Amino acid sequence: MTAPQANGASEDDAGAQAMRPLRRLFVAAPCLLGLSSAAAAQDEPVQGAAILPHDLSPWGMFLHADVVVKVVMLGLVLASLVTWTVWLAKNIELWRAKRQARAALAALNAAQSLADAKARLGEGGDPVARLVQTAINEVRSSTRADPAALKERVSWLLERVEVAAHRRIGHGMGVIASIGATAPFVGLFGTVWGIMNSFIGISNAHTTNLAVVAPGIAEALLATALGLFAAIPAVVIYNAFARSIGGYRALLGDGSTLVMRLVSRDCEKPPIALARAAE
Domain-wise residue ranges, the chain: 1-50, 58-277
Distance CA 127, CA 169 (A): 11
pLDDT at 40: 42
Q: Does the structure show a pLDDT above 50 at 3?
A: no
Mean local confidence (pLDDT), 155-178: 91
Mean local confidence (pLDDT), 243-269: 88
pLDDT band at 19 (very low <50, low <70, confident <90, very high): low
Say if CB 191 and CB 278 are below 8 A apart: no
**What kind and span of H or E run contains 50?**
none
Say if CB 210 and CB 88 are below 8 A apart: no
pLDDT at 99: 92
SS3 146: coil
pLDDT in tens, 30-73: 444 444 444 444 444 434 343 444 556 666 676 766 788 888 88
Distance CA 203, CA 251 (A): 64
Tally of CB atoms within 10 A around 65: 25
